Amino acid sequence: MQNKYLGITPPMGWNSWNTFTHAINEELIKETADAMVASGLKDAGYEYVVIDDCWSLRQRGQNGELVADPEKFPHGMKAVADYVHSKGLKFGMYSCDGTHTCAGYPGSFEHEFQDAATFASWGVDYLKYDNCYKPAHMDGEMLYKRMSLALRNCGRDILFSACNWGHDDVWSWIQGSGAQLFRSTGDIVDSWESIKNLALSQMNKTAYSGPFCHNDIDMLVVGMYGGSNDEYIGGKLGGCTDVEYRTHFSLWAIMNSPLMIGCDIRKMNQVTKETLTNPDVIAINQDIECRGPYVVPGHDPAAIFSLVKPMSDGSLAIGMFNLGDKKAQVNLPFWDMGIPAAAGVGLEITDCWSHENEGRFTERYAASIEPHDCKLLRAKVSLG
Ligand code: GLA
């Protein structure tokens, strides 16, 4: 590896799947790269433009190589990568550990080293590696280790995004595979239930994630508003409210998930842009130590809880969540965070969404939070 810091913090970028599924092409990718720069997303830290499934021909070429679909990508993938790079961005692609990808295109099974070389020759910087059509007798752990090794020896720095949906106890072996990301969940869809269920499913897994190996709760649906071309992902669901998208972004940020945008960034509205580029929220996600947050349960732990993440500057990032359907009082007793009020220790609290300094608190902080809403705070520990 040339870049020894590759993947030290969760990657940020855009992925084609949630909104476009199979309907991808060179124009879309170029326009998306343009939009990433023009909209300010790049300046906010987003850098990867990733093509998901459905980019290749249905058959490999004469030498067993993957071939980009010439109708979708008439100038080949290298040209797309060059364009993305010319914008100061990085380029990502997709393959699968099985014989086929989830949408039925050729997978990399038994072609791992050849495909890694192909991706390197095209200028790929990021590979998402799915888990469909894996031969039943094959061990998934070994296949992820194999592709990781191939990528680490292909002559180019390629971030490895393992996507096995949390199967095979991925938490217990993924660190040793060399992957920088591990998808821990099934697919997100553009609905509040999906956001809620994915986040809750990882509450007891936060300790498994750290620098260079991040728990990937799946891509963001912020700003989609039901805009997927796939009915299941969101076309029929109608999407979420802006408050729900903001809570989704807050959860993903404090849980150290990659921030991979799934909406059409060429057409983002102002609220979506403000949500996705909030520097205080992104700073929580990108903290260099990547410490997973711990949970302080509320009175209904399945819906009401706080997440506390120790930051490298000594402060705390605190997310207070009401995933329930009724307004709730969320109470955060400082005892539960190791803060001894009797010794005069307190927290100076700033709200990361309103950017207001709320002052200094001792013993506890409490907030009344609307359904599906949250508070995301940065708290400086002060001795009074
Ligand atoms: C799986 C993955 C998704 C997406 C699709 C593509 O379902 O989990 O994120 O990549 O495959 O077919």
Mutate to test the pocket of ligand 1, among 163, 182, 183, 185 (most ligand atoms within 8 A of CB): 163
Model pLDDT, residue 34: 98
52 as an active site residue: the answer is no
222/265 Cα distance (integer angstroms): 10
Q: Looking at the predicted structure, is the pLDDT value of residue 114 above 90?
A: yes
* 102 Cα–ligand 1 center, Å: 6
Instruction: Work out which ligand 1 atom sits closest to the CA atom of 187.
Output: 8
Model pLDDT, residue 341: 78
Q: What does pLDDT average to over the chain?
A: 96
309/313 Cα distance (integer angstroms): 11
| Average confidence (pLDDT) over 131-158 | 96
Model pLDDT, residue 98: 98
| Average confidence (pLDDT) over 8-33 | 98
Instruction: Work out which ligand 1 atom sits closest to the CA atom of 52.
Output: 10
Q: Looking at the predicted structure, is the pLDDT value of residue 291 above 80?
A: yes
With CA atoms as reference, report the closest residue to 142 among 107, 110, 104.
110
Please, which pLDDT band fits residue 207 given cuts at 50, 70 and 90?
Answer: confident
Give nearest CA residue, ligand 1 atom 6: 53
Burial category of 43 from C-beta neighbours within 10 Å (exposed 0-12, middle 13-18, buried 19 and up): exposed
| Average confidence (pLDDT) over 268-280 | 98
Largest CA distance in the chain: 74
Could you tell me if residue 307 is left (phi over 0), alpha (psi between -120 and 50 degrees) or otherwise beta? beta
* 164 Cα–ligand 1 center, Å: 10
Cβ of 102 closer than 6 Å to ligand 1, yes or no, is yes
Model pLDDT, residue 344: 85
Cβ of 52 closer than 6 Å to ligand 1, yes or no, is yes
